[in-house]
Amino acid sequence: AQSVSQHNHHVILSEAASLELGCNYSYGGTVNLFWYVQYPGQHLQLLLKYFSGDPLVKGIKGFEAEFIKSKFSFNLRKPSVQWSDTAEYFCAVRKGNTPLVFGKGTRLSVIA
């Protein structure tokens, strides 16, 4: 079955540490890729998305993600995290006109 995998359930980092959250998908063919963030008590917000072109995508708040087609991956990165980045991060994939399919999410806790 087609799926989206986020391997890290909970990541704990100190402020200023670098972040990389993994996302792999099992879809074949052309896909659209997304990262969403859900801050405590808030709704899902789009961080960044990839449709085509440059596989390195820049998003809001200093986040970026790299699409590696050969690895079916779309990992999220940030060079230096802040306490305010504490949130749940969801990778999502969309193929054609189908709805988004989400990974299980990764909880990021940033400590001072």
Partner 1 sequence: GAVVSQHPSRVICKSGTSVKIECRSLDFQATTMFWYRQFPKKSLMLMATSNEGSKATYEQGVEKDKFLINHASLTLSTLTVTSAHPEDSSFYICSASQGAGRGQPQHFGDGTRLSIL
SS3 content of the chain, % helix, strand, coil (to 5): 10, 50, 40
What six digits make up the tokens of 58? 């820049």
Q: Judged by CB under 8 A, which stretch of 13-21, 57-65, 67-75, 95-103 contacts partner 1?
A: 95-103
Bridge partners, 85 (sequence order): none
Q: Which of 28, 54, 99, 112 binds partner 1 (CB under 8 A)?
A: 99
Interaction of residue 28 with partner 1, rule CB under 8 A: no
Run of H or E including 73: strand 73-78
Interaction of residue 89 with partner 1, rule CB under 8 A: no
Which residues are at the interface with partner 1 (CB under 8 A)? Answer: 4, 9, 32, 36, 42-46, 49, 51, 90, 94, 96-97, 99-105
